[in-house]
Amino acid sequence: MTKEEIVEKITDFLASGNKLMAVKWVIDNTGWGLKQSKDLVDEVEAVFIQEKLKTGLGATLEQQVRSLIDSRNLIEAIKLVKETLNIGLKEAKDIVDNMQHNR
């Protein structure tokens, strides 16, 4: 199995919100350990999130999040990012924190 095929399968799991299943799948199909598998899934997830932000959702979502940040409603901003992008709480918080500090 090529790295591209592995990344494609991980992306499929991430798109359906199954990060844990992605890690398990990598372990089962590569023979890698937990740390190496999780590190790869984390790398793919970072790219996946950035790609989602660059899509058509990005501009509208960014405006909504910036508006919530400006009104100091950070919890709602994080919730919006988490639900819209179908990502974890930590990843959503990191995105909102980056947007807050990089105005």
Q: How far apart are CA 57 and CA 34, in angstroms?
A: 33
Would the pTM of this model clear 0.85, i.e. be above it?
no
**Phi, psi of 63, deg, nearest 5:** -60, -45
pLDDT, greater one: 55 or 99: 99
First to last CA, the chain: 42
What are the pLDDT digits (tens) for 21-77? 999 999 999 999 999 999 999 999 888 887 877 665 567 888 899 999 999 999 999
Q: How far apart are CA 62 and CA 3, in angstroms?
A: 32
DSSP state of 23: H
What ranges do the domains of the chain cover? 1-44, 55-103
